[in-house]
């Protein structure tokens, strides 16, 4: 931490202690800055090599290296798309993981929220080909996210039916 100038600068001992602490601080700061710059890519080191404090270097690095909201949104969406019933141990794990990923995505500041229809479409897609015929049968009497005949199923109704189908297979 940066040493504080003594209130009484006329006191030689206090002032000397301050100057020694300041010199030590500046040396440590210089060494840390040099180490950070040496670990950066060429592009980043060019941006920070002339900065004099670790704090200034870290501010530049954080602003340059923090992923944008769009990047994080795309990564979260890909995580949801990558989840399939076949990629987890069992159905209950699948549902828990699916709901966790949807909730995480919907908490992102820069992302449009998944509404019920989107959630249903992602869920039915993630069930995989094993459930394709079952989905066709369900849409003959009910509607899934607007597709099919009859009244729309809510996500919890669809999930309950899918769970019953899974455990009857």
pLDDT band (50, 70, 90) for residue 10: confident
Asked, for residue 113, whether it belongs to a domain, the answer is: yes
Residues 96 and 162 occupy one common structural domain: yes
Question: Alpha-carbon distance 98 to 114, whole Å?
Answer: 12
Which two three-digit tokens encode residue 60? 């530049």
Instruction: Point out which residues pair with 147 in neighbouring strands.
Output: 144
Find the domain containing 97 and state its range. Answer: 69-168
Residues 6 or more apart from 147 whose CB is under 8 A from it? 139
Q: What is the mean pLDDT of residues 124-150?
A: 92
In this predicted structure, what is the pLDDT of residue 5?
Answer: 87
The answer to whether residue 67 scores a pLDDT higher than 80 is: no
Q: Considering its fold, how many domains does the chain have in total?
A: 2
Residues 92 and 122 occupy one common structural domain: yes
Residues 24 and 84 occupy one common structural domain: no
């Amino acid at each position: 931490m940066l040493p504080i100038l003594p209130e009484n600068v006329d006191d030689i001992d206090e002032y000397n202690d301050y100057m020694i602490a300041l010199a030590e601080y500046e040396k440590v700061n210089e060494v840390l800055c040099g180490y950070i710059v040496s670990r950066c890519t060429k592009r980043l080191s060019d941006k920070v090599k002339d900065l004099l404090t670790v704090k200034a270097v870290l501010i530049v690095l954080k602003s340059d290296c923090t992923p944008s909201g769009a990047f994080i949104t795309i990564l979260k969406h890909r995580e949801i798309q990558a989840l399939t019933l076949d990629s987890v141990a069992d159905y209950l794990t699948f549902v828990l993981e699916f709901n966790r990923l949807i909730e995480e995505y919907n908490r992102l500041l820069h992302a449009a929220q998944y509404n019920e229809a989107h959630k249903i479409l992602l869920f039915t897609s993630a069930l995989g080909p094993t459930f394709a015929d079952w989905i066709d049968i369900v849409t003959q009497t009910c509607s899934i996210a607007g597709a099919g005949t009859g009244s729309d199923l809510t996500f919890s109704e669809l999930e309950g039916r899918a769970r019953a189908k899974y455990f009857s297979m």
